[in-house]
Structure 1
């Protein structure tokens, strides 16, 4: 007899918001390599409104999914948002956000994200596409890891992306483990840079602890042109 999968995948709803915030604050906020390297959130109770805005801005856009156990507890989440392949130079681009960010720790992270855009140059690699759906945040309850939750969340995400008529799924990785997962899921790396080489004023912006030595951008074409 096949083992019963003890969780269920479904779209995120407004009622899930508090549980998702609690889950991400005790996982992604404190153990994502860039967050950890700059000491952005030393504990799950440490406030960071800039990271809150980044994480939850697209939570209710209809492309994010949760995994819940038999009792309805959220044990995994993937937060996705539509993003243009080429940013508009309109003040909302990542470089402009970084330049005016009041939080010096998050400012460094934004500069890393801005370098990703100019380094990946996805608009040149996919000239027929205007947008992708980006995995912005992925988090699993530590007690529920290694049960296929993230694979299931990505699979549901890809179905939703195709239903929205978007061809490209994007997954940026600061973690070596996330990079391995992306490759297992059939994503192709279109940008990679050693953190020690991403510099400002001659000094590396952020250098996470090994094995998280590379910043990468992965893309998967969900159907042919």
Structure 2
């Protein structure tokens, strides 16, 4: 497949790029700073912002040979001053929602319907599936601002005619090395989520690609965590 990638320079996004190319797919990535993403065979890099529709449109015709985009994978996330949950947010309040809305509008105009979005456990109706301690923590810290933006994304994409999927990982684990482990699917609400649950980012990247390729969870959401 040929993917449009938004968020390709993020910690999960870079793994999506590597995994997609290793599986023989190609991709065009829209990034703010082209130097932040190494040149690789099968990858086309376009400099721009997902907040600008024209920049997203450029991606659809940027690949050598005029390859048509089959699906979009979005791994955009909000940015804080540090990894501390109490750190000040640096991203615009609606970065994720407005970027997603732009992507959906551009893709629909081009007749492209498939989009897979990395959301988060706790967004939308999965809030009810979180342990009370997790809900208290997210509501007390500055994580609440990212959650609010993810909620807007979910509301917006559900109102489109896209074949969307919302992938909701629990707390992302950026430290663990990629391995042959698997992820457990906990349904849309995330029944059984534990405070201690994590999701290996390499596994999440692979899951995002497989979901797009296999056409899984069309017009649905799924909470995922590392399997025991």
Is the pair's TM-score, using the shorter chain for normalization, greater than 0.5?
no
TM-score (norm 2): 0.30
TM-score (norm 1): 0.30
